[in-house]
Structure 1
């Protein structure tokens, strides 16, 4: 795919725009692409890197991805320049279900690099007439991104662990006083566990972050246990059964 934009939007957080026919195939917010990263030296990462789709512009045939530079693969990816091309496989996985009818109000909870796919979800919910509240958590002010983009879609509450931006604390600190009929979350596993304990009596959909090998369900490197002990398989593959699941469908351990 053609790189049409690439910039650092927070500390080691990059926004990458890719153009190609793949954009027309995206069917749900929360799907991802699997990117092969190459290098000019003798060391090339063997496995592709799974990156969530932040948003899609089907008219311009453009995908927006947001990722953190944290290892060899993403370090290489951060060097990619506008006008060059990336080898991307996708769109992959099952994303967030967007109801066809207005359900009233929705809560979106994100943490760190779990935030990007929630932006595309929020845009789709707002198109359907939902009133959306965003609760987004980051470590520090230098890690915050897309605050204004989310704010244009609905109420947006920012929390940082050190209090340097927004409120000091964790995303779960503010959930008790919010009104919503369905909730959606993506972020680190401890955050998802805490959100699951807070959101009761209402639908909760979670997107899992997991290391992947093939990205298409063949290698079983990304399996998680199913909550139903009578389930015939006993597990779910995050890459193709997910990454989005009903919270009660999988064990968060």
Structure 2
């Protein structure tokens, strides 16, 4: 059940070029959120809230972690918040990734840029339930890379950069043919990347998470619709997603 709460900022730091990590403390959302869901943050002076994916949760300490990239005035404003301040938040929002049925199976996480964060908590949960996790993470350049060590503690991690300044040069799709056999993939990132991944892995079972601008964030408007293979012809990302079966939507 979604609630409107106040979350205290207990830590805030920059972890890569234009990328910030924020830790928030609050009991309800941290207790009920699942991998792939997001929180909806209100910023002073802005009418629309900002949806931000959940990167990690420590249920024992009631701490939730989000990562965000400064892409405009709203996220720039968010980056100016300090430890000890509070945020007006709605959550947990949306539908997340299925994880429990992958016990004993091999799965691949495929992330691009700011689509990487929600895959971290997912990977931790998959490992907890007994899956073998391989992560393929794509970034623009060395300056944009984050969470490599964190993902490496979950399983094999491959970093790819567009310009080859770190890790392997190219795109995440270039790596996929060389991976060992796996039973499912989970992917989050720019729509172009998701399209390329799903086309490359069309014969595989997979789930994708869409990063999208939203209006209400709870399905009351139609600001975040995506074409889908349903009778209605579309789905609302904030309500039916942000996680979908790879073959469920049209990218």
Q: TM-score, normalised by structure 1?
A: 0.94
Aligned partner of residue 194 in structure 1, secondary structure: helix
Q: Report the counterpart of residue 131 of structure 2 in structure 1.
A: 130
Q: Report the counterpart of residue 250 of structure 2 in structure 1.
A: 251
Establish whether residue 98 from structure 1 lines up as the match of residue 138 from structure 2.
no
Choose which of 197, 201, 218 in structure 2 pairs with 1:195: 197
Q: Is the 2:43–2:74 contact (alpha carbons within 8 Å) kept by the matching residues of 1? A: yes
Choose which of 18, 42, 60 in structure 2 pairs with 1:36: 42
Q: Report the counterpart of residue 238 of structure 2 in structure 1.
A: 239
What is the CA-CA distance between 1:201 and the residue it aligns to?
A: 2.5
Q: Report the counterpart of residue 215 of structure 1 in structure 2.
A: 217
Q: Report the counterpart of residue 141 of structure 2 in structure 1.
A: 140
Establish whether residue 152 from structure 1 lines up as the match of residue 153 from structure 2.
yes
What is the CA-CA distance between 1:114 and the residue it aligns to?
A: 0.1
Distance 1:177 1:222, change over 3 A: same
Q: Report the counterpart of residue 46 of structure 2 in structure 1.
A: 45
Superimposed CA distance per residue, residues 192-241 of structure 1 (whole angstroms, 9 cap, x where no aligned partner): 0110011132211000111101100001100111124xx1x221110010
Distance 1:124 1:222, change over 3 A: same
Q: Distance in 2 between matches of 1:36 and 1:7?
A: 20
Q: Report the counterpart of residue 24 of structure 1 in structure 2.
A: 31
Q: TM-score, normalised by structure 2?
A: 0.95
Which consecutive segments of 4 or more residues in structure 1 shift more than 3 A?
none
Aligned partner of residue 16 in structure 1, secondary structure: strand
Q: Is the 2:41–2:90 contact (alpha carbons within 8 Å) kept by the matching residues of 1? A: yes
Q: Is the 1:45–1:72 contact (alpha carbons within 8 Å) kept by the matching residues of 2? A: no
Q: Distance in 2 between matches of 1:119 and 1:106?
A: 13
Q: Distance in 2 between matches of 1:199 and 1:103?
A: 21
Q: Report the counterpart of residue 11 of structure 1 in structure 2.
A: 17
Q: Distance in 1 between matches of 2:204 and 2:189?
A: 19
Q: Distance in 2 between matches of 1:5 and 1:67?
A: 14
Number of equivalences: 243
Aligned partner of residue 239 in structure 1, secondary structure: helix
Q: CA RMSD in A?
A: 0.9
Q: Report the counterpart of residue 3 of structure 2 in structure 1.
A: none
Q: Distance in 2 between matches of 1:131 and 1:200?
A: 21
Q: Report the counterpart of residue 4 of structure 2 in structure 1.
A: none
What is the CA-CA distance between 1:103 and the residue it aligns to?
A: 4.4
Q: Report the counterpart of residue 180 of structure 1 in structure 2.
A: 182
Q: Is the 2:102–2:131 contact (alpha carbons within 8 Å) kept by the matching residues of 1? A: no
Q: Report the counterpart of residue 84 of structure 2 in structure 1.
A: 83
Q: Distance in 2 between matches of 1:47 and 1:203?
A: 35
Aligned partner of residue 186 in structure 2, secondary structure: strand
* Runs of 5+ consecutive residues of structure 1 not aligned to the other structure: 39-43
